[in-house]
Amino acid sequence: MASRTLDSSPSILPLYARAALPMLPGASLLPFVPGGGGEIPDLDLKLEGVVADPAAVAAYAKVCGFTLRDHLPPTYPHVLAFPLHMAVMADGGFPFGAVGLVHVENRIEQHRRIGSGEKLTIRVRPTKLAPHPKGQTFGLLTEVTVGREKVWESTSTMLRRGKGDGSDAASSATRKGGRSSAAAGDFAALPVDTPASAEWRLGGDLGRSYAAVSGDRNPIHMHSLTAKPLGFPGAIAHGMWTKARCLAALESRLPDAFAADVRFRKPILLPAHVEFASAAQGDEIAFAVRDAKRQIPHLDGRVAPLEPKPKAKTGRKSK
């Protein structure tokens, strides 16, 4: 495995430019450009000494609906890790470009709340390709530590659309491949007759607003003019905005340590009018986002409590 420790967080715009180069005929023949085909390379990127900027956290919390507190929103480490995600996908050995990829599932494990001023180490590595009914998927595994203590981890499952294997075996392989623990696909959806507890009207500029606070400027989210060439009828909401907005709605009910799994279903075409529903099921919370008028499912999710991980020992016991 090629392990690299970065000196600073990568600049996202140049990475997007490199990730988009495979769309140009012949560009993928260049050694520094992704898109040469084959398997996903064995990469392990690490960034040390990361401290969240308070102004950036406040802007993110406002867009996603979180209350500003002395700890990070549970989805914010994903934003801190996103430049490393892009660095992986912009690597010259990556088999295809990142532009147009669709985030289909996400699992977050928060082992404890992360204080706003804590110094973090972030590691990201990709998983191998797996068959999917609509193409191929791979995972981006992220781990966040404070010292030797693992405080947060996630798996983002990405779909590269194309000719897929529609068999049950392909779906099963996709759900089992490259997960940190339980797969995001392995939970029952909230019953469709669960009444909504909130309605959200999403503006046509939501993708641009979230891009400004997250750095995720995938063209499928920015404008209909950039989404249509990539196969979408218009700009769609970021999956991680939708997940963050759901967890913000559940904020007062979240334990300090929990796992939050989501499946992204039908994309939310902006502008949109959607509704949010949730229900306690034992010690877990099931939740969903669906179209307010047609009841089309956009997201299924579940939150389950975790036992906090014991802190790593930092010294010897005195005799």
Tokens representing residue 213 in the block: 């606070």
What is the fold, at CATH topology level, of the domain defined by 2-305?
A: Thiol Ester Dehydrase; Chain A (3.10.129)
Q: Are 139 and 155 in contact (CB under 8 A)?
A: yes
- State how far the alpha carbon of 113 is from the alpha carbons of 39, 109, 136, in Å: 36, 11, 34
Read off the pTM: 0.87
Exposure string over 74-97, b if 16+ CB within 10 A, otherwise e: bbbbbbbbbbbbbbbbbbebbbbb
For the chain, the domains span 2-305
Which two structure tokens, joined as six digits, stand for 1? 């495995």
State what percent of residues in the chain have pLDDT above 70.
Answer: 84
What was the pLDDT predicted at 173?
42
- Tracing tokens 């669960």 back to the chain, one arrives at 194
> Which of 106, 49, 105 is CA-nearest to residue 80?
49
69 has pLDDT over 50: yes
CA-to-CA distance for 200 and 242, rounded, in angstroms?
Answer: 11
Over 60: is that where the pLDDT of 179 sits? no
pLDDT at residue 38 in the model: 82
CA distances 29 to 40, 96, 180, Å, are 16, 12, 34
Distance (Å, whole) CA 168 – CA 184: 17
Query: What gap in Å lies between CA 129 and CA 38, rounded to an integer?
Result: 10
Q: State whether residue 12 is helix, strand or coil.
A: helix
Contact indicator for 58, 243 with CB cutoff of 8 Å: no
Could you tell me the two tokens for 155?
Answer: 């798996």
Would you say 113 and 73 are in contact if contact means Cβ atoms under 8 Å apart? no
DSSP label at 310? P
The amino acid at residue 226 is T
Packing angle between helix 206-214 and helix 239-249, nearest 10 degrees? 90
Residue 12: per-residue pLDDT: 82
| pLDDT band of 181, cuts 50, 70, 90 | very low
Structure tokens at 153: 């981890």
In this predicted structure, the answer to whether residue 261 has a pLDDT above a threshold of 50 is: yes
